[in-house]
A and B are shown apart, each in its own frame.
Chain A
Amino acid sequence: GQQVMQIPQYQHVQEGEDFTTYCNSSTTLSNIQWYKQRPGGHPVFLIQLVKSGEVKKQKRLTFQFGEAKKNSSLHITATQTTDVGTYFCAYSGAGSYQLTFGKGTKLSVIP
């Protein structure tokens, strides 16, 4: 079935460096959501993107949805230790209520 690939699987950055995770699909997505899961915690919704080429910002976080709606990215500027966690992209197919998650990118921030 349709899947999304997230890269990288792991990322270690020095505090203050930028971080980007990518979510790629072989088919067009109707929407993409991003979630953050802290160590030992549960997924927390960050954002949803639905339009081709959409860009949304939340403070130091920038989310993009590709023009072809097959790719999405999450970029964090000047990482902080509070950004530590696993970032998941997720999508639901047309006519489906299933939210399918990628495998996530685990971010470690070295103080």
Chain B
Amino acid sequence: GAGVSQTPSNKVTEKGKYVELRCDPISGHTALYWYRQSLGQGPEFLIYFQGTGAADDSGLPNDRFFAVRPEGSVSTLKIQRTERGDSAMYLCASSLTGIHNTEAFFGQGTRLTVV
């Protein structure tokens, strides 16, 4: 596609529920990143995929968070037993090669609200 696409754009869920956030990267981009951004803060790294594998998941806050990218394109971020503290904007980004000095293209994000 023309850019990174994230769905849904907004998600409101009840505490304790399970949610899935989807990211469709730019076609041909092998690297995919998930970030979380709270109000007034910079994006916080969660996980990085190179192809189908999670090359770096050190930013995932705990085992309630999991992400997959089974075919090396679309990625899904999964959050189990959601907590109010999980409320944030979840941003996905992709880049052509994933080498650290290449430009990252961000999607519009999914705003998650846990009530």
Contacts and interface: CB of A to CB of B under 8 A. Distances in A.
A104 B101 CA distance: 20
A102 B45 CA distance: 12
Interface stretch (A52-60, A62-70, A73-81, A92-100): A92-100
Interface in A11-49: 30-31, 33, 41-45, 48
Which secondary structure dominates where chain A touches chain B? loop
Interface residues of A, number: 23
Nearest to B4: A42
B107 A42 contact: yes
A32 B48 CA distance: 19
Nearest to B89: A42
Contact of B56 (A88, A96, A104): A96
Nearest to B50: A97
B65 interface: no
Nearest to A42: B106
A99 B44 CA distance: 9
A45 B105 contact: yes
Contact of B59 (A92, A93, A98): A98
